[in-house]
Amino acid sequence: MNLDYPFNIDASGRTARTGDEEHIRDMIEAVLFTAQGERVNRPTFGSGLMQLVFAPSGSEMATATQYLVQSALQQWLGDLIIIEDVQVSSQDSRLEVTVQYIVRNDQERQTAQFQRSI
């Protein structure tokens, strides 16, 4: 069992815990939505995704964003997962990210979707 992310307290008043599958999803979310420089002891941690949301849109920017996110996930979680595909879209004030990956331990294919208001 792993600590749940974001940190919270469960119904029994203890630190909430989660299984391996959910923990990997939590770690993907942390990489996606952490700005580089945000963590003092790991200044290069994160994807820089939120900064790109305000950049001019276009096919080149979409490709660059997908590459940036995929390389950040590979760098920080490459020992746990194999990234198959990353899709990033921004509509109105909502950012959507879909990550398809394979868990290295059990070779199970997973898809995780994340949404953030911007």
- List the chain domain ranges: 2-117
Question: How far from each other are the two terminal CA atoms of the chain, in whole angstroms?
Answer: 32
pTM: predicted TM-score of the whole model, two decimal places: 0.82
Task: Please tell me the predicted confidence (pLDDT) of residue 56.
Answer: 62
Residue 63 CB: number of other CB atoms within 10 A? Answer: 11
Measured between alpha carbons, how far is 98 from 29 in angstroms, rounded to an integer?
A: 11
Residue of higher predicted confidence among 82 and 3: 82
Contacts for 82 with CB less than 8 Å, ≥ 6 apart: 101, 102, 104
Its CATH architecture, for the domain 2-117, is: Roll (3.10)
Decide the pairing of beta strands 17-18 and 81-91. unpaired
pLDDT per residue over 59-118, tens digit each? 677 777 888 899 999 999 999 999 999 998 877 777 788 999 999 999 999 999 998 876
